[in-house]
Structure 1
Amino acid sequence: MTKSVVAATKTPGLVLGLALLGTTLTGYLTVTHYLQAQPLFCTGQGTGCDLVLNSEYATLGGLPLTALGFLTYGALALLAGWVALASPTVQTERWPKIAWPVFLVSGAGTLFSGYLLFLLATVLRSPTGDLVFCPYCLTSAATMTGIWVLNLAGHSWEDGGKLWSNGVVLVAVMAVALTVIRGEQEQAIAVNHSFAGQLAQHLQTTNVKMYGAFWCPHCREQKAAFGEAAALVPYVECDPRGEKAQAALCQTKNIRSYPTWEIDGQLVEGARSLTDLAKLTGYQG
């Protein structure tokens, strides 16, 4: 049996398996994002994958990156499934036809995963300044890279020059795209953080308090709205199991839901936008 036949009968199944793993992973994270639930294995303390998934870098054009990943893995699963679920003879015919689509899609996904890992290693930090560990990010990056490697090794690329030239073009296009994306993200974050940081300091000086619990998804969402200024938010932990908990104070204040803001002695329940908080606290900017 030739290498191409072996690849056509085994590799598509492996690619399909990895694509389904990626689809399941990103689909799960997308659902938890919209349900504002805490994913498994996240600490909920703003030091791990919860910080990453709620950061400003976790969305693109208003859409969570997990949803974009779900669509990408889904497309790869459809391509691989079209081959893997066919008979061996049909697989041999179909396998070469998906070589370039899978090469381009998984290649772009691998490069984008590299960009996200770069952010994870150099930009994102816990409130104490430590590196953050995101098992979901690492798993997705490894999965996408695995698909790209399997596709690259599983085909008999007759035109090596075309392979190299297309690879260079793909890298160049992604480099430009990532540069534009990074620039827009940094510009938006700079504006938001400038306002958020000043607002958080205003909340401190006016004795405003945010009452919450470490496991509360709406509390994480509220903190995430402040970006890197989240550490400046005058936060009170109400769950006795949480870090630096002040459960007695929360009981004294009759806190019934999370998050709850205390502004001028009045309790305001629910997460609020930064603009709303500015109005409620009299912040002029």
Structure 2
Amino acid sequence: GGCTSVLASAYADVHAFGATLPLAAVGCGAYALVSALGVKGARNGGEGERAGWERALGLQTGWERWALAGTTSLMAATSGCLMWVLAARLHTECAYCIGSAVLSSSLCVTSLRGLSKDDLRAFAPYGIGTAAALVVAFGAAYGGVEEQQQTRGGALPLELAYAPPEIDTESSPRALAIAERLAKADARFYGAFWCSHCKDQKLTLGRQAMAKVRYVECFPSGWKKGEPLAPECSAAGVKGFPWWVINGEVTSGEMSLDELENVLDGKGKDG
């Protein structure tokens, strides 16, 4: 459930212009744009001589504030749509999603407060129109997802049959040595068969090394909406994948061989 359900759902990707992008990557790009606009606006003091297009739109302050208000308004509108998906379609909670929604809404309010009254009046029709267009686009992009999960008799959950990825890389001598150390430390690697980072972690270690590592599959019977973690994963408090427990210490996320050695040496992931 939770964030795991969101990441495994059909709503986790954005399909546009023949390409598929993770929704999380799109969100990171939006936050990066907001940061860049904020820095530029701060350097310019948000003021300055207006460009011709600013005068045509009736804007009084620097263009950075207007762009910042527009971007954060779109982010807040998108977050609203995603909160609806979380509650009405996925029927779950995701701390990261909710936190992002709160942050984007706060940024929107803050950026709008930075506009003059004249700018707010000029911005309102553009902001409302763009937000409405975004809601329509969101419905067009994700409207078919629910249909794919329904039959005449009612809703069917998204379901993934258990299919462990093939590990076709050969282990290096270093990877084998690390695997031996992991085995001696009674380390556990908790993962999910559908998790791309878990697969990459296995490929980093290689086939022979993974045979020595204690790997725990958290969805051994496949995944569907509401599917609980395997008891051993629940007992370990797994909150994401990959999830390592080495020398009694939890380390989350995919790790390189250097990082695995650092953790084994008690130095932490970053050494």
Match of 2:105 among 145, 148, 159: 145
Note the C-alpha offset of 1:100. Answer: 2.2
Give the 3 Å change call, closer, same or farther, for CA 155–52 of structure 1 in structure 2. same
Q: In structure 1, what is the equivalent of residue 96 of structure 2? A: 136
Deviations 1:66-94 (A, max 9, x none): 1000111111111111122x2xxx31425
Kindly indicate whether residue 132 of structure 2 is the aligned counterpart of residue 172 of structure 1: yes
User: Which amino acid letter does the alignment assign opposite residue 26 of structure 2?
Assistant: L
Question: Pairwise mapping of residues 39-78 of structure 1 onto structure 2 (< 5 A)?
Answer: 47-61=1-15, 62-78=20-36
Q: CA RMSD in A?
A: 3.9
Q: In structure 2, what is the equivalent of residue 215 of structure 1? A: 190
Query: Which has the bigger relative contact order, CA under 8 A and spacing at least 6?
Result: 1
User: Which amino acid letter does the alignment assign opposite residue 38 of structure 2?
Assistant: A
Deviations 1:229-252 (A, max 9, x none): 6849xx976769469xxxxxxxxx
Note the C-alpha offset of 1:63. Answer: 1.4
Question: Pairwise mapping of residues 80-229 of structure 1 onto structure 2 (< 5 A)?
Answer: 80-84=38-42, 86=43, 90-93=44-47, 96-125=62-91, 132-190=92-150, 215-218=190-193, 228=224
Cα distance in 1 for residues equivalent to 2:93 and 2:119: 41
Q: Which runs of 5+ in 1 are unaligned?
A: 1-46, 126-131, 204-208, 244-285
Cα distance in 1 for residues equivalent to 2:226 and 2:136: 31
Note the C-alpha offset of 1:157. Answer: 3.4
Where is the strand percentage greater, Structure 1 or Structure 2? Answer: 2
Contact map agreement 1:48 1:133 (CA 8 A) in 2: yes
Note the C-alpha offset of 1:121. Answer: 1.3
Aligned positions, number: 174
Cα distance in 2 for residues equivalent to 1:196 and 1:113: 22
User: Which amino acid letter does the alignment assign opposite residue 65 of structure 1?
Assistant: L
Note the C-alpha offset of 1:194. Answer: 7.0
Question: Pairwise mapping of residues 255-270 of structure 1 onto structure 2 (< 5 A)?
Answer: none
What TM-score, normalized by structure 2, do the two folds share? 0.52
Contact map agreement 1:196 1:229 (CA 8 A) in 2: yes
Where is the helix percentage greater, Structure 1 or Structure 2? Answer: 1
Aligned partner of residue 133 in structure 1, secondary structure: coil
Note the C-alpha offset of 1:147. Answer: 1.1
